[in-house]
Chains A and B, each alone.
Chain A
Amino acid sequence: MTEEPLLSVRNLEKHYPIRKGLLNRQVGAARAVDGISFDIAPGETLGLVGESGCGKSTAATSIVRLEDPTGGEVIFNGGGRAGATRNGDGTHPNDVARFDDRELKAFRRDAQMIFQDPSSSFDPRMSVGSAVAEMLQIHGMSDRHRRRAIVEDLLDRVGLSPEDYDRYPHEFSGGQKQRIALARALVLNPALIVADEPVSALDVSIQAEILGLIADLQDEFGLSLLFISHDMSVIREICDRVAVMYLGEIVEIGPTDRVFADPQHPYTEALLSAIPTPDPRSTATGIELTGTVPSPTDPPSGCRFHTRCHKVIQPDDVDLDQSSWRGLLNLRDALAAGSVDVDQIRENVRTGGDLAATPDAVKGQIRHEFDLDETVSADEMESLLDAALDVALAGDPEGAAARLSERVTTPCEERVPERTSHAADHESACLLHERSSPPSPADD
């Protein structure tokens, strides 16, 4: 990009300390946002998409500094701050995290936020007009009549009537409240609006209206938008570019049409496959992610998605059916985590009618639970699996996991994928691409 971005996020981190014990010692951290980077150009809409709990909202609140980020930079070049260069010590004068109180207050005018839940985003004891006008008052507009005139005009623009000024939040529907929320975000004439799932709480028909309104206002006032959603179809509707987030990291970023047409990261593929298709005859089934959903307090090593990835890489000398490979990895992880209860499974087989519950039946049941019904295509792997299950049945799941780990390992859990570039502006972080592209000199 030749022109300076409005917002430039660099390696943003937000870790929540986990404290325990009498002395409140820090025993770990929930890495809600773990080093994300992206730019937003003036007038552009960037979508931030990911499943619940992946850190989207934390990213949003850290960017606008509702919460202080624990690392990285948020460089905001709007509000007359354009063209700044780095200070001598490497810090940036436009880093939001370093703003003093006066700068922060000015920044509050330039960056606003819309929240997800329309029912709790207005003070139930304040008329909506006063709630919007309060923003003006906070920033020093003491003329009550002028505040009212501005807010009435703005309510009109977002599709409500000026008479609604004196009404209370409980008198509005969810969609109307989201319009008022938009008015509140706009009233200080910001350059950037962070919209945190602004339409997920609304009906589909209302969603379209609100999205249309957002797009119109964006065109009219040249707003930049950071649009957070878990819904890919909403993202496609409104965003110029999209960043896909998984467990605190951005796994793929690129222009919306490119990402939708040609997703490069397996997680993006899985998200896209979850969009319902309007064709009733379509037989395409969504990609179902198996494996455990990891916690941000203890993210998986290597590529964070490897515990659930349907395209997880096999070692060079292994060539299995992809679903069997996934099943083997899941079984290994489950055994290591102690979540395979052999006694329980044996009991289930007994109540299922097979009173003898032969070891073979139990093994079959375990294999069934991990999608390993058919014999694994490689003999070596099949015998390893059988031996490991024997160890597990003997009451030693850790031993079984260790046995499996001899061969069932994936490069994905060992190496952190770098970002690879696919086309202009389209990047993803997956080892699959690093393999296909010529190895860089840094590699061995």
Chain B
Amino acid sequence: MASKKPEQFDRVDWSELSESSRFDLSINSIGMLAATLPLALLWLYDYQFVGERGATFQAIGLGRNLDPLDYFFVFTLFLFFFYLVLPLYQNPRMTRYYWAEFRRNRPAVVSLGWLGVVFVGGLLGPLVISAPEQSILTGHQPPMFLSINEANVATCVGDVVNGQCQGTWQHPLGTTRGGKDVFAGVVYGMTISMQIAFITTTIVAAIGITFGTVSAYAGGWVDEIMMRFVDVILSFPTFLMFLLILYIYGAGLGMFILVFSAFAWGGTARYVRSKSLSVSEEEFIKATRISGASTYRVVRKHVVPNVASSIITQLTLLIPGFLLAEAQLAFLGIGDSAVPSWGQLLSAGRSDLAFAPWIVLSPGIVLFLTILAFNFIGDALLDALNPEAEAESA
């Protein structure tokens, strides 16, 4: 370090600086690396040293096991934190501007609150609440403040008044036929829903953005071929593909996420391509190019951020589709029955709808609210992140 630094642009000696350090990572990337490394090591340990059936943390006496989906989920959470939440904190001015725009949409603010509940519940709930367990004797317990005819329950956990079994705080939302606690089921379902939301978004965004920008910047025949491939992806019957895989390999939640997101990025790629083409015509891109920035840098620092803000909207509107698809498959009985998702809960309660509607209603309402919330937020984000679009519609 020189003792006296020139602090004016015309006193910079470029010959001493040029090409010195090409590799300077942002704080975000350093944080991302620092967080991902232990995760990767843990996965390696789990994969190499812990048996197929052993729990990941058995060495320190915890029974919690992590499967590949959990690792990927945590990884996407890191991505979300270091490249979405942290930048918002780093750029308070922009954040305040976005927030002021976002706040004008009241339903979206309420929706954000609800998604916050689902997020925190899904993340921390499983640590606090034990997983719902089968207990045939306490099946069909009513939720709190409701009651059910004694004839329908094997054992009533609460009081029996006038032949009606009353709900208890032990099972605030009642239990299923098999005696699984509905509240615990809803909370565990939040985890599943968050996993679906985060992982699919990450996969779709990663493939879509890469494919779209490469296609836009390559041009010519490459562009043509890539876009025709997108047409194939978009017209592919994903559901039939999933059924086929289900018959051949059996389909867990991981497979569901993989198959559905692998065929969902077509629209995103197309959108990113057209948006990149229009952004790359902007003068600020020329101004960056004229400063000697490489195409990679231009794309990463200017094209992708400008494209990303508009595809965030598209992605938030994609998530409800995945959640619904999962619920539908589970309801039809071709979902992953080992996973306590909302869809599984719905399907568990469908035969008892006549006398125990809470089993279907609780996860149904939660699913409905979550999907509604995503839609509201998508709308509000469109307005907050793309002032031009709003100006056009106004």
Residues of A whose CB lies within 8 Å of any CB of B are: 61, 64, 66, 104-106, 108-109, 112-113, 115-117, 120-127, 131, 134-142, 146, 149-150, 153-154, 166-168, 170, 181, 184, 186-189, 221
- B162 on the A face (CB < 8 A): no
Residues of chain B within 8 A of A108, CB atoms compared:
290-292
9 residue pairs of the A-B complex, CB under 8 angstroms, read A109-B14, A109-B292, A112-B291, A120-B284, A137-B24, A139-B292, A140-B22, A150-B8, A153-B8
- B288 on the A face (CB < 8 A): yes
Select A142's contact among B24, B286, B291, B292, beta carbons within 8 Å.
B24
Contact in complex: B292, A166 (CB < 8 Å): no
Q: Top 3 nearest A-B pairs by Cβ distance?
A: A108-B292, A115-B283, A121-B283
Contact in complex: A149, B290 (CB < 8 Å): no
Residues of chain A within 8 A of B97, CB atoms compared:
168, 170
The 0/1 profile, CB within 8 Å of A marked 1, for residues 113-156 of chain B is 00000000000000000000000000000000000000000000
Complex Cα distance A124/B289, Å? 17
- B21 on the A face (CB < 8 A): yes
Contact in complex: A140, B284 (CB < 8 Å): no
Residues of chain A within 8 A of B19, CB atoms compared:
140
Q: Which residue of chain A lies nearest to B91 when distances are taken between CB atoms in the complex?
A: A127
Chain B interface extent, by class: 35 or more
Surface stretch bound by A, among B30-38, B70-78, B269-277, B302-310:
B302-310
Contact in complex: B292, A150 (CB < 8 Å): no
Contact in complex: B9, A112 (CB < 8 Å): no
Residues of chain A within 8 A of B106, CB atoms compared:
none
Contact in complex: B286, A115 (CB < 8 Å): yes
**Residues 279-296 of B contacting A (Cβ, < 8 Å):** 282-284, 286-293
Contact in complex: A66, B290 (CB < 8 Å): yes
Q: Which residue of chain A lies nearest to B291 when distances are taken between CB atoms in the complex?
A: A135
From known contacts A120-B284, A123-B306, A125-B309, infer whether A153 and B9 are also in contact, taking CB-CB under 8 Å.
yes
CB distance from A62 to the nearest CB of B (A): 12
Residues of chain B within 8 A of A125, CB atoms compared:
94, 305-306, 309
Q: Known pairs A124-B306, A189-B10. 19 more at Cβ < 8 A?
A: A104-B292, A108-B290, A108-B291, A108-B292, A112-B290, A120-B284, A121-B287, A123-B284, A135-B291, A139-B14, A139-B18, A140-B19, A140-B20, A142-B21, A142-B24, A146-B7, A150-B9, A186-B9, A221-B10
Residues of chain B within 8 A of A188, CB atoms compared:
9, 14, 291
Contact in complex: A187, B306 (CB < 8 Å): no
Complex Cα distance A139/B289, Å? 12
CB distance from A20 to the nearest CB of B (A): 16
From known contacts A142-B24, A168-B94, infer whether A154 and B9 are also in contact, taking CB-CB under 8 Å.
yes
CB distance from A127 to the nearest CB of B (A): 7
From known contacts A113-B286, A115-B286, A153-B9, infer whether A123 and B302 are also in contact, taking CB-CB under 8 Å.
yes
Q: Which residue of chain B lies nearest to A132 when distances are taken between CB atoms in the complex?
A: B9
- B365 on the A face (CB < 8 A): no
- B104 on the A face (CB < 8 A): no
CB distance from A395 to the nearest CB of B (A): 46
Contact in complex: B18, A115 (CB < 8 Å): no
Residues of B whose CB lies within 8 Å of any CB of A are: 5, 7-10, 12, 14, 17-22, 24, 91, 93-94, 97, 282-284, 286-293, 297, 301-302, 305-306, 309, 387
From known contacts A117-B283, A140-B19, infer whether A134 and B9 are also in contact, taking CB-CB under 8 Å.
no
Select B293's contact among A117, A121, A138, A170, beta carbons within 8 Å.
A138
Complex Cα distance A140/B294, Å? 13
Residues of chain B within 8 A of A186, CB atoms compared:
9
Residues of chain A within 8 A of B18, CB atoms compared:
105-106, 139-140
Contact in complex: A189, B9 (CB < 8 Å): yes
Q: Which residue of chain A lies nearest to B284 when distances are taken between CB atoms in the complex?
A: A123
Contact in complex: B290, A64 (CB < 8 Å): yes
CB distance from B261 to the nearest CB of A (A): 26
Residues of chain B within 8 A of A113, CB atoms compared:
286-287, 290
Residues of chain B within 8 A of A104, CB atoms compared:
292
Contact in complex: B289, A66 (CB < 8 Å): yes
Complex Cα distance A184/B288, Å? 10
Select A121's contact among B8, B12, B284, beta carbons within 8 Å.
B284
Contact in complex: A116, B291 (CB < 8 Å): no
Contact in complex: A140, B21 (CB < 8 Å): yes
Complex Cα distance A184/B93, Å? 21
Complex Cα distance A203/B287, Å? 23
Contact in complex: B93, A138 (CB < 8 Å): no
Contact in complex: A66, B286 (CB < 8 Å): yes
Contact in complex: B93, A127 (CB < 8 Å): yes
CB distance from A342 to the nearest CB of B (A): 43
Complex Cα distance A98/B97, Å? 46
Contact in complex: B291, A134 (CB < 8 Å): yes
Residues of chain B within 8 A of A112, CB atoms compared:
290-291
Contact in complex: A141, B12 (CB < 8 Å): yes
Complex Cα distance A66/B291, Å? 10
CB distance from B310 to the nearest CB of A (A): 11
Contact in complex: B12, A150 (CB < 8 Å): yes
Residues of chain A within 8 A of B290, CB atoms compared:
64, 66, 108, 112-113
Most chain A CB within a 10 A radius of its CB, from B22, B284, B305: B284
